[in-house]
């Protein structure tokens, strides 16, 4: 039983669908909780987009730390924990800050600079860890675009792109999970 749990934890093809599912549930709970409120739609959309990116990436960060810990305990870790743990922390810290900042957006305590800064921190961190993380950084980049938009049509376009992108990413994650391959095998690197 423990070996099966460890296999799931270290299986890199399972974390993105789990992370995106957790993010979708979080956004659904947020939207249900705000039903009937007089919150302006632009703030509600910003809060939902912010929460989605934060929960998705925090879940991925937790998965990374759990996988590193599990492989370390099994004696199968390839690489130094001194390098691998900080990668997880580098994703977790801005992700949790993005999640916690969602309340400020809902409460109109956000001037916009914090939302933009936290999402930029998260996106830059992911891209700095490798260009292959660009699809994971995209929700944060779209959050920045939405926060900075000034025309309704542009805001609607950004939200539309975010929805289509996230659905496509989720479908791709499900295909990756069903393949049973490693990231390197799936992407043709290996």
Quick: pLDDT tens for 39-90.
888 889 999 999 999 999 999 999 999 999 999 999 888 888 899 999 999 9
Which pLDDT score is estimated for 153?
93
Sequence-distant (≥ 6) Cβ neighbours of residue 137 within 8 angstroms: 122, 123, 126, 127
What's the predicted TM-score (pTM) here?
0.90
Contact (Cβ atoms closer than 8 angstroms) between residue 96 and residue 58: yes
Buried b (16+ CB within 10 A) or exposed e, 45-78: bbbbbbbbbbbbbbbbbbbbbbbbbbbeeeeebe
3-class secondary-structure state, position 11: coil
Task: Give a yes or no: residue 7 inside a domain.
Answer: yes
Number of domains observed in the structure of the chain: 1
3-class secondary-structure state, position 37: coil
Task: Give a yes or no: residue 12 inside a domain.
Answer: yes
Quickly state the pLDDT bin for 188 (edges 50, 70, 90): low
Task: Give a yes or no: residue 189 inside a domain.
Answer: no
Smallest CA-to-CA distance from 79 within 60, 126, 88, 90 is with 88
Quickly state the pLDDT bin for 144 (edges 50, 70, 90): very high
Task: Give a yes or no: residue 98 inside a domain.
Answer: yes
Task: Give a yes or no: residue 6 inside a domain.
Answer: yes
Identify the H or E element spanning 112.
none
Tokens at 178, concatenated: 């069903």
Please give the residue range of the domain that contains residue 67. 2-184
Tokens at 162, concatenated: 């975010």
Task: Give a yes or no: residue 190 inside a domain.
Answer: no
Which pLDDT score is estimated for 17?
92
Quickly state the pLDDT bin for 185 (edges 50, 70, 90): low
Which pLDDT score is estimated for 189?
58
Tokens at 93, concatenated: 């810290």
3-class secondary-structure state, position 182: coil
Task: Give a yes or no: residue 51 inside a domain.
Answer: yes
Contact (Cβ atoms closer than 8 angstroms) between residue 66 and residue 7: no
pLDDT tens string 91-108? 999 999 999 999 888 887
Which pLDDT score is estimated for 143?
94
Task: Give a yes or no: residue 54 inside a domain.
Answer: yes
Give yes or no for residue 36 having a pLDDT over 90: no
Which pLDDT score is estimated for 186?
67
3-class secondary-structure state, position 79: coil
Give yes or no for residue 157 having a pLDDT over 90: yes
Which pLDDT score is estimated for 2?
81
Smallest CA-to-CA distance from 46 within 180, 175, 166, 148 is with 148
């Amino acid at each position: 039983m423990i070996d099966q749990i460890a296999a799931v934890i270290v299986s890199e093809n399972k974390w993105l669908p789990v992370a995106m599912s957790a993010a979708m549930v979080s956004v659904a709970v947020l939207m249900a909780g705000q039903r009937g409120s007089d919150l302006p739609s632009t703030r509600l959309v910003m809060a939902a987009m912010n929460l989605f990116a934060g929960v998705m990436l925090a879940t991925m960060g937790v998965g990374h730390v759990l996988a590193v810990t599990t492989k370390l305990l099994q004696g199968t870790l390839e690489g130094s924990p001194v390098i691998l743990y900080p990668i997880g922390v580098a994703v977790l810290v801005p992700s949790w800050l993005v999640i916690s900042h969602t309340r400020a957006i809902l409460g109109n305590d956000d001037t916009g600079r914090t939302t933009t800064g936290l999402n930029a921190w998260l996106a830059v961190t992911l891209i700095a860890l490798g260009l292959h993380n660009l699809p994971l950084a995209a929700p944060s980049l779209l959050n920045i675009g939405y926060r900075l938009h000034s025309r309704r049509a542009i805001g609607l376009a950004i939200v539309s792109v975010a929805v289509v992108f996230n659905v496509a990413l989720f479908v791709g994650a499900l295909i990756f999970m069903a393949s049973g391959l490693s990231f390197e095998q799936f992407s043709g690197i290996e």
